[in-house]
Copies of this chain bind each other. A is one copy, B any other.
Amino acid sequence: MKGTAAAVTRQLDQLLPKAVGPRGRVVDAMRYATLGGGKRLRPFLVVASARLFNVRDPRALRVAAAVEMVHCYSLVHDDLPAMDDSDLRRGKPTVHKKYDQATAILAGDGLLTEAFAVLADSATHNDSDVRAELVRGLAAAAGASGMVGGQMIDISDDRTDLDLDGVTELQRLKTGALIGFACQAGAVLGRADQAARDALAAYATDLGLAFQIADDILDVESSAQELGKPTGQDEALHKATFVGLLGLDAARKRAEELVESASSHLERFGDEADLLAQTARFVVARKK
């Protein structure tokens, strides 16, 4: 995972070259938002799933970088004062604190746009059918039926009153959609059959939910110093969470069940999928 994280950072560095002149500022902010660390979980899922279908790493890394651009764009916009109003991200000032709000809005817009440019480029795959499918998949994950819709629910007035189904639906859109695309992208690159795609989709659904439950637990149990971002936010804002609705013990148990379920969907891939199974375990065991 560390090796992939470093490779993705190099890829992002290449895909977002510095620019001169007054527009250099927004490119700097795009680089600041993407090159400053993070677990790189989503890129890792792209690379690990691509390996199941013998896709070469350079191709997978381009898609991985595009997925990370979209993840980082969403963090930049979600952190804005009009949204979650967060000052700290990955242990550093958020983009609007480091630069300003206007630059943060534009940097997010630029990253979202650049992600599609990367996917549509012939260097990502020689078959334009594959590239068009990747663009459609990323757009579906990022748009109003995915991340944008999830964030809209997350900041809505009804947010405090969500029941377990409501929180599950919210997280399916806000976090699950992009994790789902990350797991599917390898299958698209490798032109895998439908059964393989379905298995990865099922794995991703369980993984995404387990990831979010673990996030809710960390928000309660961890410190800002450990996480590199503010904690206790959900409770302070009276947001309904898995931990709040289930209790800590039941939430932990549910996350473990989801890890088992996620792994069960990988059986058809045999030992080749050990990395993805380990990733599911990592997602709930992580401390940040």
Enumerate chain A interface residues (CB-CB to B < 8 A). 19, 21-23, 25-27, 30, 73, 77, 80, 82-83, 100-103, 105-106, 108-110, 112-114, 116-117, 119-122, 127-129, 131-133, 135-136, 138-140, 142-145, 148-153, 155-156, 158-159, 173
Contacts and interface: CB of A to CB of B under 8 A. Distances in A.
Q: Is the interface of A mostly helix, strand, loop or mixed?
A: helix
A110 B144 contact: yes
Nearest to A70: B113
A49 to B, nearest CB: 21
Contacts of A159: 22
Contacts of A113: 112, 139, 142-144, 148
A23 B156 CA distance: 8
A106 B22 contact: no
B155 A102 contact: yes
Contacts of A144: 19, 23, 26-27, 30, 110, 113-114
18 contacts: A19-B149, A21-B153, A22-B156, A77-B109, A82-B100, A82-B105, A106-B148, A110-B148, A110-B149, A113-B148, A114-B139, A117-B143, A119-B135, A120-B132, A127-B128, A128-B128, A128-B129, A132-B132
